[in-house]
């Protein structure tokens, strides 16, 4: 029996394909730079049991597996690196299994999208806090948990989505299915907490970029959704990096989310603002030259909201040139972003604004806020040094967005934008890798590694040797035949 027949026996004819005209669509994700290879096989399981059977078949035939969720990755994470692979499209496993309002948790199948989950939770007055990755409403829980995603909204208050995961069911490369979290205790009725019962082995699978197993179910914290919110947008003409850094550090001193209810805080640096204003994408921003910050804070009472608004605004005015707003028509992006727009994904427009003739790559990293300005300046210096190479590759470099996290860090969203020219792609990939290496060596933590980033972490010897050696041992334990997402982290 051929492998396609065995897979068909598991999921049925309707959900299994070896046809190139179906499978070709799985060669692509948001990243347009890395090679697009058509996988030979695609399956869409509907249950953990089917996933187990698929992995057993993969082991039998020694055929690699590539789990895929919403396909919204920007680092090639769900792009096949070879045609000899079974792409496991997890999006059929999209049920909400339990909303536990007493314990503030929700248990879901990992193919469920963040948007669908939150739409249901909103009806009940809850949300997941961190709304998932910035890569889109179509992104799924499993993908977000595989990448420590966070930029989709709420990470300023709730951190990365993985910080809100308290239960996880994973199918290993051995075909075993293990549940992590409080349900490691077989007497726990419903998952309610992550830590305890010994070491936190769930962490092996969070941020694994889909290499350590296939996530099938997850339990996430849910939070009551505050009914009141407010937000402002400000323009910073001079020294935006330093001013933003100082502003954020002062806001942290005032309690950040706990003290001020800050939900999100975004900084759009000058080159990105210039991109917006040059193309007149936000008409009300006119032709400002400088950086822009916008923030949203929430509260359970109007009084608290007003007090916090006053405090945050006072601090903002110290470090900024002028307000853009207060209305959306006057440039206050928060009302559109959080209030009336309907979703909080600012990046969609960023991805697409370049048009068909250009594309963007990402070298997004987590850095300490205290080093944000320094790292941004170093990135600017790198761009100057690499000016000739960038020119030859018909590419530009820059930071497009900085997203604050709670406590002490932020995501620096940076990368390249390049002309969509097949002949230049190798040059662009080379520069992309160099930028990833630079940012890592400046002390950035690459959280969303995917295909290219995970390889740079190894090739550029970013990891300590003991860690990487240990990492490989763990990989061997959970996936002895190295079937799941081979190639990432150079496994």
Partner 1 sequence: MDEKKNFRRIKELEENIYSCVAIGDCRNTLKGPYSKPILEICCPNRDHGGGFEVNFARGRFTLARALIEGKIQPSEGLAEEVYQCTLCGSCREVCNNCENPDMVVTARENIGDHIDIWEKLRADLVDAGVAPLPRHKEIFTHQEKEHNPYFEKHNDRLNWLPKDSNFLQSGGDYLFFIGCTSAYRLNEISRTFLEIADRIGLKMTIIPDEWCCGSINFRTGVEELGLETAQHNYEVFKATNIKSIVATCAGCYRTLKIDYPKWIDDWDFDVLHSIELIDRLIKNGEIKIKNKISGIMTYHDPCHLGRHAGLYDAPRRVIEAINQDGFVEMRRNRANAYCCGAGGGVKSGFPEFALEVAIDRIKEAEETGAEWLTTICPFCLGNLRDAAKEANSKLKVVDLLELVKNII
For partner 1, the binding residues (CB under 8 A) are 14-15, 17, 19-22, 24-30, 32, 38, 42, 44, 70-72, 89, 91-92, 113, 115-116, 118-120, 122, 135-139, 279-284, 328-329, 333, 336, 338-344, 348-349, 351-353, 355-357, 359, 420
**Token digits for 466?**
């003991």
Place of tokens 């970029």: 209
Nearest-approach distance from CB 212 to partner 1, in angstroms: 25
Q: Which is nearer to partner 1, 205 or 285 (CB)?
A: 285
Q: Which is nearer to partner 1, 26 or 411 (CB)?
A: 26
Residue closer to partner 1 by CB (options 112, 369) is 112
* 3-class DSSP assignment, residue 365: strand
CB of 327 to partner 1, least distance (A): 9
Q: Whole-number minimum distance, CB 484 to partner 1, in Å?
A: 20
Cβ contacts of 392 within 8 Å, gap of 6 or more:
427
Instruction: Select 192 or 347, whichever has its Cβ closest to partner 1.
Output: 347
Minimum Å distance from CB 174 to partner 1?
28
Cα 185 to Cα 135, 188, 200, 215, distances in angstroms = 35, 6, 13, 19
Alpha carbon dihedral 467, 473, 477, 481, in 10-degree steps, equals: 120
**Shortest Cβ 139–partner 1 spacing (Å):** 8
Nearer to partner 1, 359 or 471 (CB): 359
Closest C-alpha to 85, from 458, 490, 487, 491: 487
Phi and psi angles of residue 343, each rounded to the nearest 5 degrees, phi first: -150, 170
Residue closer to partner 1 by CB (options 120, 197) is 120
Least distance to partner 1 from the beta carbon of 141, Å?
Answer: 12
Residue 88's DSSP bridge partners are 43, 67
What are the residues whose beta carbons fall under 8 Å from the beta carbon of 106, sequence distance 6 or more?
96, 98, 99, 100, 117, 121, 126, 128, 219, 220, 222
Query: Closest separation between CB of residue 68 and partner 1, Å?
Result: 9
In 3D, which of 341, 308, 337 has the Cα closest to residue 154? 337
H-helix or E-strand spanning residue 413 = strand 409-419
CB-based contact 167:219 (threshold 8 Å): yes
Nearby residues of 280 by Cβ (< 8 Å), 6 or more positions away: none
Rounded Cα distance between 94 and 115, Å, is 12
Q: Which is nearer to partner 1, 422 or 465 (CB)?
A: 422
**Cβ closest to partner 1, residue 114 vs residue 234:** 114
State the minimum distance, in angstroms, from the CB of residue 72 to partner 1. Answer: 6
Show the beta-strand stretches assigned E in 85-161. Answer: 86-89, 96-100, 105-109, 126-127
How far, in Å, CA of 133 to CA of 156, rounded? 13
* Token pair in block for residue 292: 């822009």
Residue placing its CB nearer to partner 1 in the complex, 135 or 146? 135
In angstroms, give the least distance from the CB of 250 to partner 1. Answer: 28
């Amino acid at each position: 029996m051929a492998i396609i027949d065995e897979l068909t026996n598991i999921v049925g004819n309707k959900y299994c394909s070896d046809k190139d005209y179906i499978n070709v669509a799985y060669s692509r994700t948001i990243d347009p730079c890395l090679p697009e290879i058509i996988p030979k096989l695609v399956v869409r399981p509907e249950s953990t049991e089917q996933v187990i059977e698929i992995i057993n078949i993969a082991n039998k035939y020694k055929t690699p597996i590539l789990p895929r969720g919403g396909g919204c990755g920007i680092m090639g994470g769900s792009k096949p690196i070879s045609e000899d692979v079974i792409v496991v499209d997890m999006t059929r496993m999209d049920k909400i299994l339990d909303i536990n309002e007493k314990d503030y948790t929700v248990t879901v199948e990992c193919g469920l999208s963040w948007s669908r989950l939150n739409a249901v939770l909103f009806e009940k007055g809850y949300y997941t806090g961190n709304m998932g990755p910035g890569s889109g409403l179509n992104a799924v829980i499993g993908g977000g948990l595989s990448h420590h995603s966070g930029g989709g909204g709420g990470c300023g208050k709730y951190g990365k989505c993985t910080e809100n995961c308290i239960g996880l069911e994973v199918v290993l490369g051995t075909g075993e299915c293990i549940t992590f979290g409080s349900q490691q205790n077989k007497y726990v009725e419903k998952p309610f907490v992550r830590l305890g019962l010994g070491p936190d082995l769930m962490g092996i699978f969070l941020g694994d970029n889909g290499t350590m197993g296939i996530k099938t179910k997850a339990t996430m914290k849910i939070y009551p959704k505050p009914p009141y919110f407010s937000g402002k947008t400000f323009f910073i003409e001079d020294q935006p990096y330093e001013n933003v850094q100082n502003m954020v550090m002062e806001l942290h001193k005032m309690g950040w989310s706990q003290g001020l209810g800050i939900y999100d805080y975004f900084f759009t640096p000058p080159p990105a603002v210039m991109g917006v204003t040059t193309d007149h994408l936000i008409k009300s921003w006119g032709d400002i030259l400088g950086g822009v910050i916008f923030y949203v804070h929430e509260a359970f009472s109007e009084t608290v909201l007003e007090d916090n608004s006053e405090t945050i605004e006072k601090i903002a005015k110290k470090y900024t040139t002028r307000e853009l707003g207060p209305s959306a028509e006057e440039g206050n992006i928060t009302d559109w972003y959080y209030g009336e727009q309907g979703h909080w994904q600012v990046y969609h427009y960023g991805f697409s604004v370049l048009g068909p003739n250009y594309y963007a790559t990402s070298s997004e990293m987590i850095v300490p806020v205290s080093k944000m300005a320094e790292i941004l300046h170093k990135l600017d210096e790198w761009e100057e040094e690499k000016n000739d190479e960038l020119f030859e590759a018909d590419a530009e470099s820059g930071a497009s967005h900085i997203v604050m996290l709670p406590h002490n860090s932020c995501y620096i969203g940076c990368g390249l934008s390049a002309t969509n020219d097949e002949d230049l792609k190798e040059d662009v990939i080379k520069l992309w890798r160099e930028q990833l290496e630079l940012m890592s060596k400046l002390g950035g933590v690459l959280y969303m590694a995917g295909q290219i980033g995970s390889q740079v972490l190894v090739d550029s010897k970013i990891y300590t040797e003991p860690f990487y050696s240990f990492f490989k041992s763990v990989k061997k334990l959970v996936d002895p035949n190295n079937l799941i997402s081979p190639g990432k982290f150079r496994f």
